[in-house]
Amino acid sequence: MQQINIIWFRNNLRVQDNEALSLALKKDTPILPVFCFEPEYYKPTQYGFKKTEAFRAQFLIETVADLQQQLEGLGLNLYISTASAKDTFQALASQYQINQIYTQKEWTSEEQQVQQSISTLLPQTEWIETYDQFLFHPEDIPFDIHQIPKVFSVFRKKCERYCDVRGEYVISNKTVNGISLNSTLPKLEDLGFKPIKKHPHTAFPFKGGSTAGQKRVKHYLWDSNRIAFYKKTRNGLLGLDYSSKFSAWLANGSLSVRQIYQEILDYEEQVEQNESTYWLIFELIWREFFKYVSLKHGNSIFHLEGITQRIYDWKTDIHSFQKWANGETQEPFVNANMQELQKTGWMSNRGRQNVASYFSKNMKMDWRIGAAYFEAMLIDYDVHSNYGNWMYVAGVGNDPRDRTFNVQLQASRYDKQGKFQKLWLSPTLF
C-alpha cells in the first residue's frame, strides 16, 4: 500500500504563508491535499435555518476553487469531498497508508469532534498541527494561555510591547510529488441551495479566494489609499470602502493575518503612517484577542452564562426571533440591518453591535440563538470573533461595563440622513 502524507485544509484555504503546506512540502513522501464540505455544516438547526446558509457557502465554494487552482500551480491536485471528513479519510485509508496529516490547529468543539473521529480511525497516523491563524503566536505571547487577561486593552498593550509577529512562510517551488485523484467542486445546488445573485446594493460584492482577497488588499491600501481614513470611516454603513472588508478572507484563511499586517507595515513605510493605519492593526488585535479568549475558556464561549457565569432571565421564543431575523421589530435601524444581512450575507460592524444588543438586552432573547443566526448568514463568520462579540454585547463576556446600545441614538449618530434605513426598508427595493 502506497504511503502518503495529507494536507487537510480547513480554515487555512491559501497557498501563500501556509505553515502546514510549507512543512509538508519539506518531506519526500507523496502529498495529497484534501478539503471536505462537511455535510453537517449544511443541515438545518433547531431554529429553522441551516448551520451554513447560501451566502457563506457560495463564498466558500469560490475560495476552494481558487485554492484548487493555486495548488495546481505547485503541481498538487486538491481532492474535494462532499462526504464527511471521517468517511473521506476512511475511504482514503483503504487505498493508501496515511503517514502524516498536516493541518491548522482548531480547538472549538465541533472541529475537535470531527478531528477525533478521524484520529480514532487512523491510530498510527502522526498529526502535525500548526497555530497558523494568529498574529501573535501562542509560543510568543507574554502570558500563559490560562492567564489571558479579561480586558482587551491589557492584552493589546502587553502583546504590542513584548511580542513580535513572526515572518511569513515561504512556499517552495521545488518539484512536488503529488497524488492525483479525481474529484469535483460542488455547486451551490449540490449543497442543498438554490442559486443566488449578488444584490445590487450589497456592501460586499467580492468573490472568495486568495486571489480576490489579495486584490482587495491592493485596492484598499495601495490603489485607493482608503486605509489612511479607516478610523474615520470604519463605523460606516453604506458603500464598499467604509471598512477594509478583509474579515471574510481572514475567516476562512484565504488571507493570513500576517500577510495583512506586513502589507500595512509596508504601506506605513512607503506612503504614510497615521492613526488610521494603526487602527486597522488595532482591529486585527481585537480578532486575535477573541481567539485567545476561546483558547483559554474552551466551550464556555458557547454556554448561556458565557465566560462570566452571569445568570440572566433569557427567552427562547422562536416567533420573536423570526421577527428580529426578518427585520420586523419596532426599531427601523435594527430592521434595516437585518434586511441587509438577509439579502446579502453582510452587515457592518456598527450594525452587528446594535442588532445584537437589541436582541439580547431589549428583547432579552437567548444570545446564542442570535449568534447561531450570524453563523449561518455572515459571509465572514469566524467562530471566535462571532461568539466573543456576542458574549461581549450580551453581558456574559469581556465587557466589564455590560452596556446596552441605545439603538435610536445610534441611528441618529451613524445614519443621520436615514439613507441606510431608506435603502433597506424601501418597499420597492426587492
* Residue pLDDT, tens place only, 38-65: 999 999 999 999 999 999 999 999 999 9
- Buried-state track 185-195, b at ≥16 Cβ within 10 A, e below 16: ebebeebebee
Looking up cell 493605519, which residue turns up?
A: 277
pLDDT score of 41? 96
Same domain? For 81 and 144 the reply is no
Asked if 231 and 285 sit in the same domain, the reply is yes
Inform me whether the pLDDT recorded for 234 exceeds 80.
yes
Please report the pLDDT score of residue 428 as a whole number: 57
Q: With 50 as the cut, is the pLDDT of residue 108 above it?
A: yes
CATH number for 138: 1.25.40.80
Determine the average pLDDT of the residues in 25-46. Answer: 96
Asked whether the predicted pLDDT for residue 276 surpasses 60, the reply is yes
Which CA distances in Å does 203 have to 214, 236, 294, 340, 424?
A: 18, 11, 29, 9, 12
Grid cell locating 338: 437585518
The x, y and z cell numbers of residue 94, run together, are 483503504
Q: What is the DSSP letter of 42?
A: G
Residue 402: inside a domain, yes or no? yes
Average pLDDT in the 231-252 region? 97
C-alpha distances out from residue 104 to 109, 300, 402, Å: 15, 22, 34
Q: What percent of the chain has a predicted confidence (pLDDT) above 90? A: 94
- Residue 124 within any structural domain of the chain: yes
**CATH code assigned at 95:** 3.40.50.620
Residues 341, 396 within the same domain: yes
pLDDT for the residue 162: 97
E strand or H helix at 98, and its extent? strand 97-104
Choosing from 109, 132, 155, the residue where a domain stops is: 132
Element (H, E) at 32: strand 31-36
Q: What angle do CA 381, 382, 385 make, to 5 degrees?
A: 115
Last residue of a domain, one of 245, 280, 298: 298
Pair 10, 108 in one domain: yes
Residues in the chain: 430
Average pLDDT over residues 232-259: 98
Q: Please check whether residues 290 and 315 belong to one and the same domain.
A: no
User: How much is the pLDDT for 430?
Assistant: 46
Q: Is the pLDDT assigned to residue 245 strictly greater than 90? A: yes
| Claim to verify: residue 23 and residue 70 sit in the same structural domain | yes
- Whether 139 and 251 map to the same domain: the answer is yes
Of 280, 298, 316, which marks where a domain is finished? 298
**Which burial class, exposed, middle or buried, applies to 238 when counting CB atoms under 10 A from its CB (0-12, 13-18, 19+)?**
middle
Rounded to whole angstroms, how far apart are CA atoms 341 and 351?
10
For the chain, the domain total comes to 3
40 and 95 share a domain?
yes
Answer whether residue 182 is part of any domain: no
Residue 257 has pLDDT above 50, yes or no: yes
Q: What pLDDT, in 10s, does the model give residues 370-405?
A: 999 999 999 999 999 999 999 999 999 998 788 899
> Does residue 200 belong to any structural domain of this protein?
no
Return the residue matching grid coordinates 472588508: 245
Same domain, 155 and 287: yes
- Mean model confidence pLDDT for the chain: 96
Q: Which three cell numbers stand for residue 146?
A: 490560562
Give the separation between CA 46 and CA 373, rounded to whole angstroms: 11
Residue 269 lies in a domain: yes
Q: Residue 414: inside a domain, yes or no?
A: yes
User: Does residue 345 form part of some domain?
Assistant: yes
At 267 the pLDDT is: 98
Residue 23 lies in a domain: yes
In which band, very low, low, confident or very high, does the pLDDT at 171 lie, cut at 50, 70 and 90? confident
CA distance 167 to 399: 32
**Whole domain around residue 78: which residue ranges?**
1-132
